[in-house]
Each structure stands twice: as C-alpha cells, then as structure tokens.
Amino acid sequence: MKRIYILTLIGLIFFSACTDLDVAPKNIISDEDLLTNESGMEIYMARMYSNMPFEDFKYMAEWGIEFNSWLGAMGIEGTGEALNRDGICRAFTNERTPYWGKAFTLLRDANYLLETLPKYEGSFAKVMYNHYLGEAYFIRATVFCAMAKRFGGVPLVTKVIPYPAGENELEVPRATEEETWDQVLADFDQAASLLQPTSPKAGYANKYVALSFKSEAMLYAGSVAKYNETVTGRLTGFGEKTSVRVIGFAEDSWQAASKKYFKEAYSAAREVMESGMYSLYTNKWAADDPEAQYENMVDMFSDLTSPENIYVKEYIYPTTTHGYDAYSAPFIFKAPLASGTCPTLDFLELYEGFDRYDDGTIKTTSGASNTEGEYLMYDTPTDFFKNAEPRLRAYVIFPGDMFKGKEIEIRAGVYTGTEPVQPLFNNYSYANAETHYQHLDAYKGDPKTLYLSPREGNSQEVVDYNGVEMTAAGANGPFYDNGEACLTGLYGRKWLNPDPAFEAGEGKSDQPFILMRYAEILLNAAEAGVELAMAGESAPDGSNMLQVATEAINSIRERAGASLLASTLDAGETGRNIVRKERRKELALEHKTKWDLRRWRVQHYEGRDGFWGEFRDRNTYSNNSRYRFRGLYPFFSKESGRYFFDSRFQWVSLKTFEYTIVDYYFAIPGGEVSKSPVIDQQPNR
C-alpha cells in the first residue's frame, strides 16, 4: 500500500509539473505587458528616465553619475564660481564613477524600445506611438552626448546586442569623435521630428526639449572641433588598437565640422525661440526697481509655472528629495553640515556695480591697488554691495544680507587699531597665498590689534564694543581652522529654499532643478551666431545673427538689472567674449560652466587668459598648471564701528586646482580597455 501511495503521489507531481510548464511565470513582465498600453509604457519610461545622466542636485562632478546628493554643492569643480572645504572641491578632470557601464545599460533600453515597439504599433494612437519612439531617440542622443563630452569618440551601439553572441557582435570599437557627434545630431533630429510639441506627461520630453538639448550639444561639438586647434600640438590622436581618431578632428575636416555644428546649434535654438512656447521669467520684474528684479530672479528657480522652464527635474517630499540645503546653507542653518557652496571674489568680479582698480579687480582701498592707500570704510557690510546687479544678489548671499528671516552675520575678524586702516598685507600675490591673517604681527604681536576666531561658539575670540561682547568672526565665520564655515566671506543663495519655516536636513529638500531654461537657448543662439559670423558664414534661416545675438544678450541683461549693450556685437573675439561672459554670469551654479570651460579649451595654463570670458592676466592667479581663487573678507573696525573689506586668496581650507591639456578628455575606464581587443585608451594616457 505504501508503494501504491508513493507511486500515485509521484504521478500526481509529475502530471502537475508537466501541466505547469505551459504556464508563464507570474513574476515575469513581458513585452505584451509593457509595450501595449499607456500604463506599461509609463513604467518603461520611468525606468529609462530614472537612469538619465542629468546633472542636478544628485550629481557631484567628483562622484560622477551616482545619483547621490551627499555633500551637495554647486560650481566647486575649479570653475571659479565657488569653493568647498572637502576633497570633492577639485578641478573637473575625471569622475569617480566613469559614465560608461551605466551608459550602455541605458542605451540598450532605448535600442530595445526602438526595435520592439513597432511590433505593437497598433496598440497606440499614431501620435503617441511616434512620441515613444522619439523619447527613445532623445534618450539615446542624451547618453551619446554625455559620453562624447567626456571621452570623445565612443562605441556607437545603435542596436540591441544579443547575448550570448560571437566576438564580432559583442565587441564594438570606438568611433571617431566626429562620427560620435554626428550620431548625437542624427538622434536629436529624429527625436525632434517624432516628439509632440508639448509633453504628454510631466517629466517626458517634447519637440522643443529635444531641440534645446540639441542646441547645447551642437554648441559643444562646434567648439571642440574649432578650439582643439588652438591647443599646442592640436588636441587629437589615434587609438593604438584600431588606429581610429578617437579624440579630435582631422586637419582637413575640423573647419567644416565646426561650421556645421554651429549652424545646427543656431538653427535649433532659433526654432525654439520662434515657437513662442517659452519666454524669460518676469513675474515680479519691474524696470528701475532692483529689489523687484532681485526677488524675480530668486522666485524663478522654484516656480514650476515659469514660462522660462523648458525641462525640469521635479522633487516631491517625502518620496523624492535631495539634500542641497543640508550641505550648502549658511553655517547657522547647518543640518548636518553647511557652507558647501561659497562663491569667490573672482566670480563676483564678473558682475557690474562695484568700483574697480585699473586692472578690473574690485576696489577695497583708496589706492591704485589693494596694497596701496587705506581701506574704504562702510557703515554696514551690505553697503559694499548696494550697486551690485540684482541678479548677483539672487545668486549670492552678501555679508549682512537677510536669508530665511535672519541677518547672515559674516566677519573675518575685528580690528582694534587706529584708523585709517592700512592694507593688512603688502603682498597679495599667488606666491603669498599661504601667508594668512593669523600669521600677521597685528594678530600675534603686543599690542594685539587684530582678533580672529579659530572656532565657532564660545571658543571665539571676543572684543568689548560699547560694553557688549562682540565675537571676532560673528555667527558664520570664517573660522580660520574650521573649513565648515564661510570659506570666502560669501554664501551661495541660488537653489536654496528661502522659506523661514523650512528646516533643512538630509533628504528634506524638494526644490526642482531646471535642467534647461529659455535663457540658455538665447545664449546658445547668441554664441553660435557670433561663431558663425566670425567664420564668415551666413545664418541658416537668413536672420541677422549678430543682431539676434545682441538682442538675446540685452534681454537677459535687462531682466538681470545689468546695463545694456550700446551697440551691436561684432564678429570677433570681443563680441564672442561678451557672450561667453554673459553665459558665465547667467548660468552660474547650474552645472554648465565646467563644460563651457572644457569646450572653449581655456582651462589649461596657456589658454587661461580666456577663463573668465574676458581677458584676465593668468599669472595673477595661476602658476603653470596650478591656480587658486580669492575670497572677499569683511572686518569690523572698533574705532569707528564701520566695516572694511580685504581681498585675498582663499584663507580658510585653501584649495589649489590643477589642469593640463590631457584633462580635456577623461580616460576610458582601464578595465574596459584591458578586457577588450577593440576599445582604445586615450592617446597619451
């Protein structure tokens, strides 16, 4: 009987097992589940977009594409915009996580959609079917563009590679840089032709999003093709394994390629401009009203209804958040850290509204340089900035200004000697950058006339002022041995949540990040137009390119509260540099400048005169491949109860950056090169 029961049980198991083999596993999602209906496509799109190489609050140049907002900061990659205390504050020469493996995963998703969706074309209205294909092309173009900016020529994987497969199918060598940019161009064009003019869902692309990103990509490609030629020895080379020109352009093709890409950049930007879909944000703007102009630009970065927004990465508390405020808010709001984005004096000098020495630097003394005369005195620190562009005040928190309902008290120290006050140093050169205030006799000597603070709180040095104890460095520092305070005398305001009721913390911020806005389109058109005019080319659409460029710059300047150009831009380096400088000002602290410096080829020593979009003698802040930036430090003078400012190289947590010609292209990940018979490392690596 036992044997009968066992045989019967085995038979039942065998029978049921055979039957179940014909039933699809319940935990496997098929193409039919995803690619035949709107809900499934929303899941597929969400997967792709969650892995896009967008640079927002969750991107740090030192980390790479890791989707990590830890230590979130802006403009700290050796661009001169801002400084940070940590090791992440370094020149943009590589990324900890190279954008390689993740790129090919996302390319496979896009290619799979392009190859598979046609099987289910009948499941969608024609307009939506085309739109989904357009999304795949947009994503593929964005990935190839992100790779090209980093590596030059890359493997152009434009179809799904089967696995397992033969070596010929699995191994795709690097294409030339020119072929790579041509692929980016073709994919953006395909995307723009298929996408709807407005996004069918929040977060999706549309025709004008594709055209906007195309204009940015082609501006990069045109610049590289042209300005590689200005680098000593021509910045180009062949791979050892394939003899393909993996970086740079051929001597007989770079000019034509540059003109082609600049024309594509101009045409794409002009199509967005002519569409009437977008405009500059002016909700609070009023002529001759600096306060309204400042408030307008503050609001612009958080208003999701802004007509300037072309493509935005949204965050929603508590499900999708970031930590920018937790790391870059002023010291008094630290939660858990602070002061991650401290703008430099060099950056301030891009903007109007300051008295200057003959060399263009901001004036702090009555003499011909900051080593001569006496310090200029101010009743309050904010008086120093009273004529500054409203745009600058929207980007930077000045000492003594208000933020989140509190005065942001910033002091470098208190001076107790007699007035007038002479310059604290007789040498402010690059070579003397490591001589600090605490090394001065005024601080170390007897009598002591300079009070500084090594730490915050009760450990601060204190001076009696009219019967009240005044801390040497105030609430925010700088504290000379604490790199977690105000490093430069300034704080970044752009992107911070200004609501007094908001309490910063890790993963508590939900401000949106604007990845593409209309001001950039105007700047793209202006720069491409001037570049084409310099090359003797005419506009693809028959427009007057220099007039378009001039009007674009003036519209941005008017909104910013800056002076307007008095005449039409010229087709030369002067006109080009005006556009570059305006781009540096308007798009500051938006992850744009580090790429602009690379494509203009102005970050290495010989090209660094153009680093700021204007001529600045590189020898004042450079030492061959190495360079540094300055802070603007406010001191309180006890005798008069007034303030003076000192300009010198970064005093607290001194950062020295380094950049050489080879850094314009990142190295290909070593593991990819060693395991592949066809993937070439960069020349000279």
* Secondary structure E strands in 76-183: 82-83
Q: At what angle do helices 207-227 and 518-534 cross, to 10 degrees?
A: 40
Percentage of the chain beyond pLDDT 70 is 96
pLDDT above 50 for 24: yes
pLDDT score, position 164: 80
Percentage of the chain beyond pLDDT 90 is 92
pLDDT above 60 for 2: no
For residue 415, give the H/E element and its range: strand 413-415
Phi/psi for 13 (5° steps) reads -60, -45
pLDDT above 50 for 264: yes
Tell me which amino acid residue 46 is.
A
In sequence order, the β-bridge partners of residue 397 are: 491
pLDDT above 70 for 13: no
Per residue in 455-482, pLDDT tens?
888 889 999 999 999 999 999 999 999 9
pLDDT above 70 for 161: yes
Burial bucket for residue 651 (CB in 10 Å: 0-12, 13-18, 19+): buried
Q: Tell me the HSE value of 633 on the side-chain side, using a 13 A CA sphere.
A: 30
pLDDT score, position 294: 98
Which residue, 389, 327, 371, 297, is CA-closest to 58? 327
Burial bucket for residue 49 (CB in 10 Å: 0-12, 13-18, 19+): middle
Are the C-beta atoms of residues 361 and 344 closer than 8 Å to each other?
no
Collapsing DSSP to helix, strand or coil, 83 comes out as strand
Ranges of H-type helices in 408-456:
441-444
Give the tokens for residue 165: 């497969």
Per residue in 312-356, pLDDT tens?
999 999 999 999 999 999 999 999 999 999 999 999 999 999 999
Collapsing DSSP to helix, strand or coil, 301 comes out as coil
Query: Domain-by-domain residue ranges, the chain?
Result: 31-276+666-675
pLDDT score, position 443: 97
pLDDT above 70 for 194: yes
Tell me which amino acid residue 462 is.
V
pLDDT above 60 for 11: no
Burial bucket for residue 569 (CB in 10 Å: 0-12, 13-18, 19+): buried
pLDDT above 60 for 306: yes
As a whole number of angstroms, the distance between CA 209 and CA 659 comes to: 33
Give the tokens for residue 161: 């590679």
pLDDT score, position 25: 57
Residue 15: pLDDT band (50, 70, 90) is very low
Residue 19: pLDDT band (50, 70, 90) is very low
CA quadruple 55, 60, 64, 70: dihedral sign? negative
CATH code that applies to domain 31-276+666-675: 1.25.40
Mean local confidence (pLDDT), 230-241: 95
pLDDT score, position 637: 98
Mean pLDDT of the chain: 94
Question: Which residues are within 8 A (CB) of 131 and not within 5 positions of it... i.e. 6 or more apart?
Answer: 194, 195, 196, 200, 204
pLDDT above 90 for 5: no
Residue 20: pLDDT band (50, 70, 90) is very low
pLDDT above 60 for 357: yes
CA quadruple 48, 50, 51, 53: dihedral sign? positive
Collapsing DSSP to helix, strand or coil, 248 comes out as coil
Which residue, 65, 208, 202, 56, is CA-closest to 134? 208
As a whole number of angstroms, the distance between CA 159 and CA 113 comes to: 10
As a whole number of angstroms, the distance between CA 248 and CA 172 comes to: 20
Cα 354 to chain centroid, rounded: 26
Per residue in 409-431, pLDDT tens?
999 999 999 999 999 999 999 99
pLDDT above 50 for 12: no
Per residue in 603-649, pLDDT tens?
999 999 999 999 999 999 999 999 999 999 999 999 999 999 999 99
The CA-to-CA distance between both ends of the chain, in Å, stands at: 78
As a whole number of angstroms, the distance between CA 303 and CA 307 comes to: 9
Per residue in 486-531, pLDDT tens?
999 999 999 999 999 999 999 999 999 999 999 999 999 999 999 9
pLDDT score, position 23: 52
Per residue in 568-609, pLDDT tens?
999 999 999 999 999 999 999 999 999 999 999 999 999 999
Mean local confidence (pLDDT), 37-45: 97
As a whole number of angstroms, the distance between CA 153 and CA 163 comes to: 24
Q: Which residue has the tokens 């925010």?
A: 476
Whole-model pTM above 0.85?
A: yes
